[in-house]
Amino acid sequence: MQRAMGYDTMQRLIDNGHAWVMEGSVGREAMYLLEIGACMLPKKSHTDYYGNTIPSRDWLQNGSKGTFHNSVKFYSNVFDND
């Protein structure tokens, strides 16, 4: 579904941690996509450019920003409206 909607590249950057060490606009876009549910955090935590920890999705409460459940909700709404 991410590939069909064009979010697969950003998901790869989030998964490998590169989204957090690139220029600020990339990180801001990643955060927006995590918030709306188009992308999710990986199962492995990462560190950003400034040394802050980016949590894994397993550290978060179900349904919150960056979780698998938040992505399920997003894609369920997208494809239910078609």
Which SS3 state, helix, strand or coil, does residue 4 take? Answer: helix
**Can you give the pLDDT at residue 82?**
54
Beta bridge partners of 53: 47
**Is there a contact between 34 and 26 (Cβ–Cβ < 8 Å)?**
no
DSSP 58: G
**Can you give the pLDDT at residue 78?**
74
Lowest mean pLDDT segment, chosen from 15-19, 49-53, 78-82: 78-82
pTM confidence score: 0.90
Over residues 6-28, the mean pLDDT reads 96
DSSP percent split of the chain into helix, strand, coil, nearest 5? 55, 5, 40
Has residue 9 got a pLDDT over 90?
A: yes
